[in-house]
Structure 1
Amino acid sequence: MARPTIVRPQPRLALLAMAALLAGPALAQEREAFKLERSINLQQTFTDNGKLSDNDRQAESITEVSPGIRLSGRSGRVQGSLDYRLDLVQYARDSGRSTAHHQLAADGGAELVDRHVFLDASASVSQQSISAFGVQSGGTGLDNANSTDVASVAVSPSAKARLGGLIDLSAVANWRATRAKDSTAGDSNDWDASVRAGAQHGIFGWSVAATRQTSDYAGSESYISDSVVGTVSLSLTPRLQVFATHGEDRSDILGNGTQKSSSNGWGFNWVPGVRTQISGQADRHFYGNSHSFNLSHRFRRALIAYTDSRGVSGQDTEALGPLRQRYLQIYSSCMAVVNNAATCEQLTRALMGFDPSVSLGFLNSAPSLQRTQSLVMSITGTRNTFALAASRNQSERLGDQQYDAGDLAIVPRVRQYALTADWSHRLSTQSSLALTASWQKTPDEDTQPGNDLRRVELSLTNTLGQRTTGTLSVRRVWFDSETSPYRESAIIGSLNYRF
């Protein structure tokens, strides 16, 4: 049977989808509750190695013009945020490399029927590495053949109701599409649908959920997984709940035909205090063990958070609503301690598994077994703020799965480590000094040599007016690799105006 053709949308698809959601009837009726901010950023970079190569070093002057918009707020039953920027990059000497990039982070939700029907959506466009073993860029404004724009759109309708005042019923569907520019590796369509029934009787609870999940990768087969999972829970205290699960699975994601199996697991949710949250879950599946663990604690002037998860890519059935709540919880805790939006956004994204300053990962062509660990810490004082983010990612081949493209088509696993330390000092009410040091490593795997990226950047930021900010930075990058090492130094000046 012929495989259906996948239509490859342009990166602007993510922006259009999110704009359509935010422009719904409820928003049109109460637009004043949303805040719109426009901006334009001008950046000039002088680098001694514009081609990121020690064999063909060439000094370069790179000009970036980046208009952007930011929309956020809540109006009636609609809430959301949209942050979009268009980066126009112009190379002075090598004008053929001049390009444009889209940067988008958007998320929205609507309560279509009061307390019963909901719609969540998100969209993103960002640059990602094609291969973990290729050249890694150490700064903005520097393009290389190993990076590309990747766009994602996700939509999640859901509904819930109570039957007879005793049994809670819910249904959730999640659809996600990912496209990479100028590459079929990483292109995928994922969707899942689940129905759930459950109830709470005093300290005892139960639920039964049925789920179907489908993953469709470009150039590969479609993979289908069905499961029915029963859960029993016990609330030992108002703040501590434990639960056990048993499920029946049927799936072909191992690449060797459809397999049937049973799964068992356990977990807990614990909230010792208003500043601490701990949760964990462990399950035994036909492909191996999976788990998730989350811990966050907010001190008076500090924050620490840790996550550890292992499972199959594309098999997360959690809807966007809980993900948004988790993001806002971490971000709010950080703001209560650090009170710096840029720092808290970076820390929160690192904890959730996507750090804008350290882009671990690579494009893949089939489901894989993934293990992700992340540790975030921040300490703030009267004038100083220190933040540390560490992460470890590991992707492995899954069963007899065939990988037509990507790193897992060459090696059985890919490991990546990253560490970022950031210190900022407020010189006055108008200016601040920041020092950032980062390290990213991809170890050798079989015949594929790894690489090591180190970066240090010092920047001075000054408020030039009520809506204008200027930044002057210097950076140094060391990239060690058997195939394409390089060293790079740069001076960057930028001017941001918000209106």
Structure 2
Amino acid sequence: MVIMINLAPRGAPYQLSILVLLSLPAAAIPSEWTVIPSLRLRETYSDNMNLAPAGQARSEFSTEITPGIAISTNGPRLNLALDYSLRQAFYTREADRRTQQLDASGHAQVLQDWLYLDARASISQQNISAFGPQQIDTLQVTGNSNTVRATNISPYLQHYFHGLATARLRYDYDRVTSGRLLSVRSDRTNLQLTGDNGGQGWNWSLSADRQNIDDAALPKVTMSDTTLTLSYPFNSRLSGFVTGGYEKNDYHTNGTQPEGRHWSVGANWTPSPRTKIAASVGRRFFGNTYSLDADYRMRSMYWTVSYNEDITTTHGEFLSIPPTGLSDFLYQLWATRIPDPQTRLQTIKLFLLVSQMLGPNGNVNFFSHRYYLQKDLKLGTVYSTPRSALALTLSNTRRTAQTSSAIDSPLLGPDELALEDHTRQSAAQAGWNWRMSPRSNVTVGASLSRVESLSTGRSDRNAAVTVALTQQLASKVSASVDLRHIRHTSNTGGNYRENGIGASVSMAF
């Protein structure tokens, strides 16, 4: 089975990635496929569609027509999930717009116990800067958003050598583009050997990694790292580990040379099947480092907290895999509440979309060609009863630039180049879903965020409240009404408010 979807006429790699995803069955044994075309019609009114300051706000009606398709399969050698939609918006005053949304991922076992293939592709609308107007609905016209296309294709060889080690050789090809603002390609090769000691005493793993990054605005950059990890199980619940290695990065910086030895010491603790904690402390070329990853599951509640520090980039964040703990927990918990898997997935997707309006990380991945030291702290929880669910996310992200701001001159004005030298973003997001009847539910979302430029003193605040009422009219037809209120304030001016209302009908075929 081979299906070709022309998603981006100027972006052959995106076509290629989707072709790869949808032609994987040729390498797998037959499995059951689910193909669901859909159509959504929506009418919206906003009293400030451009998110402009008071006195410049303009009301606007818009009509949205969104055809889409969802394709999935889950077989013994092939897993695939694709969700694509084409959104055509007609405005009474603004120029008509067309946008696309894509979320696709696939995994195939091409040659059993040897050759595998992973692939991901996405098309999304993203805010360009964390400062200024923040789009939370793709119908809003702010001048601070753009379409981002991201692709990852990753074939790898993996084999278990009995009594010796498990070997994995992986190659990653990545591409992230956003018109003239971003164009980054990278390829990465990773070799990992994990020892086999039969679960007794000390064990080891060795990783060698090399990545080449080609940013159209910069000279090519090479990043390499070799790490040895030794681990020891004290008992069935507690194990310790120590790592050591050497990394070398050749991006240009005016500070400490981004290379040198690194080490860390940590532990993994699993006191019960529902609780796991991993923590470490160490040192890299930029200073001391700390990490934490903890999950706790109860019958009707899930908690997760994480902290990490690393060198990152805008394109690297767009390629990162978002956490799935909250959605996985709800998918299992709502199995009896919403028996149909596709309906359950769509309900969870809408619930998390409303409760995490700024994204699962709670911060804006602003456009930049620079390398950053990012320190990221996140706390998330969800509590569910047979008829309701409550989700809460708290986050705090700091970014400190490691490279010169001059390379961002195509993205920022000359007076704003220092704006993103050192930033801090903090956010609190909450969502509540109540299933009023088997056919109707209401979802309420609220978010409060603050972004600060610690280098210039600028501070912006954003607040939003949304309410959505959904009614199932038939087995494949639903209707919804949504309301929203948005506020934005800044100590540099540009404050605005927006109220919006929308009504939609969705059909699956």
Aligned to 2:15: 16
The range that moved more, 157-166 or 108-117, is 157-166
* Aligned counterpart in structure 2 of residue 111 of structure 1, from 109, 112, 131: 109
Per-residue deviation, 1:22: 2.6
Is this contact kept in 2: 1:459–1:473, CA < 8 A?
A: yes
- Residues 176 and 315 of structure 2 are in contact (CA less than 8 Å); yes or no, is this contact kept in structure 1? no
Query: Cα offset for 1:485?
Result: 1.7
Q: Partner of 1:58: helix, strand, or coil?
A: coil
Cα 1:466–1:334, aligned 2, differ >3 Å: closer, same or farther?
A: closer
1:231 to 209, 229, 232: 229
Output one character per residue of 1:268-309: Cα deviation in whole Å (capped at 9) or x when no partner. Answer: 333322222222344311123344321111111111111211
Indicate whether 1:410 and 2:411 are aligned.
no
Match of 1:471 among 477, 480, 491: 480
Letter in 2 for 1:276: T
The Cα shift of 1:64 comes to: 1.0
State the one-letter code of the partner of 1:131: S
Contact 2:396 2:426 (8 Å CA) reproduced: yes
- Once the two structures are overlaid, the 10-residue window that deviates more, 135-144 or 110-119, is 135-144
Match of 1:173 in 2: 171
Q: CA deviation digits over 1:440-468, x for unaligned, max 9?
A: 22124444633211111222111111101
What TM-score do you get using the length of structure 2 for normalisation? 0.86
Instruction: Within 5 Å, give how 1:116-131 maps onto structure 2.
Output: 116-131=114-129
CA contact (8 A) 1:72 1:82 kept: yes
Given that residues 287 and 399 in structure 1 are in contact (C-alpha distance below 8 angstroms), is that contact kept between their aligned partners in structure 2? no
Q: Is the 8 A contact 1:190 1:314 kept in 2?
A: no
Q: Quick check: 461-470 or 350-359, which moved more?
A: 350-359
The more displaced of 282-291 and 216-225 is: 282-291
Cα separation, 2, equivalents of 1:351 and 1:57: 27
Aligned to 2:219: 221
- Give the C-alpha shift of residue 55 in structure 1: 2.9
Deviation track 1:451-488 (CA, whole Å, cap 9, x = no partner) reads: 21111122211111110110012211111133322111
In terms of mean alpha carbon deviation, does 27-36 or 120-129 score higher?
Answer: 27-36
Distance in 1 (alpha carbons) for counterparts of 2:463 and 2:302:
26
Corresponding residue number in structure 2 for 1:492: 502
Tell me, in whole angstroms, the C-alpha distance in 2 between the residues paired with 1:276 and 1:187: 41
- Per the TM alignment, residue 251 of structure 1 is displaced from its structure 2 partner at its CA by 2.2
- Give how far 1:13 is off: 5.1
Whole-Å Cα distance in 1 between the matches of residues 85 and 143 of structure 2? 22
In the other structure, the counterpart of 2:155 is 157
- Letter of the 2:489 counterpart: D
In 2, Cα distance between the equivalents of 1:104 and 1:475?
25
Indicate the residue corresponding to 1:3 in structure 2.
Answer: none
Number of corresponding residues? 483
Maintained 8 Å contact 2:46/2:501: yes
What letter is aligned with 2:397? N
1:375 matched to 2:379? The reply is yes
The letter for the 1-side match of 2:418 is I
Q: Residues 55 and 308 from structure 1, CA distance in 2 versus in 1: closer, same or farther, beyond 3 angstroms?
A: same
Matched-pair contact (CA < 8 Å) for 1:338–1:379: no
Tell me what 2:64 maps to.
Answer: 64
Letter in structure 2 aligned against 1:235: P
Give the aligned residue type for 2:482: S
Partner of 2:329: 333
Deviates most, 391-400 or 84-93? 391-400
**Hey, what's the Cα distance between the residues in 2 that align with 1:388 and 1:275?**
20
8 Å contact from structure 1 (residues 366, 402) kept in 2: no
Which of 185, 190, 194 aligns to 2:190? It is: 194
- CA distance change for structure 1 residues 402 and 287 in 2, over 3 Å: closer, same or farther? farther
Q: CA deviation at 1:240?
A: 2.6
1:5 alignment counterpart: none
Q: 1:211 aligns with which of 197, 209, 212?
A: 209
* Structure 2 unmatched runs, 5+: 1-7, 336-343
**1:461 has 2:470 as partner:** yes
Residue type of the partner of 1:364?
A: S
**Counterpart in 1 of 2:4?**
none
Counterpart residue number, 2:247: 249
For 1:317 and 1:455, how far apart are their aligned partners in 2? 28
TM-score, length basis structure 1: 0.87
> What is the CA deviation profile of residues 396-448 of structure 1, one whole-angstrom value per residue up to 9, with x for unaligned ones?
11166863345794231122222221112221111112221111221244446
Aligned-pair CA distance for 1:99: 0.9
Matched, 1:449 2:448: no
Distance 1:402 1:113, change over 3 A: farther
Preserved contact between residue 18 and residue 107 of structure 1 (Cα < 8 Å): no
* CA separation of 1:446 and 1:211: change in aligned 2, threshold 3 A: closer
Distance of 1:477 and 1:240 partners within structure 2:
47
**CA distance in 1 between partners of 2:46 and 2:10 (Å):** 28
Per the alignment, residue 269 of structure 1 pairs with: 268
Deviations 1:120-140 (A, max 9, x none): 111111111111112112434
Task: Tell me, yes or no, if structure 1 residue 90 matches structure 2 residue 87.
Answer: no
SS in 2 for 1:103: strand
Tell which deviates more after alignment, 461-470 or 387-396: 387-396
**CA deviation digits over 1:51-109, x for unaligned, max 9?**
22123221110111111111112234111111111111111122x2x211111111111
Q: Distance in 2 between matches of 1:117 and 1:246?
A: 29
Match of 1:21, SS?
Answer: helix
Q: What are the within-5 Å matches in structure 2 for residues 262-411 of structure 1?
A: 262-313=261-312, 331-337=327-333, 341-342=345-346, 344-345=348-349, 355=359, 360-398=364-402, 403-405=407-409, 406=411, 409-411=417-419
What is the distance in 2 between the residues matched to 1:277 and 1:349?
27
Quote the residue 1:102 is aligned against.
100
Residue 238 of structure 1: how far off its partner (Å): 2.5
> C-alpha separation between the residues in 2 aligned to 1:438 and 1:449?
20
Q: 1:162: how far off?
A: 3.8
**How far off is 1:354 after superposition?**
8.0
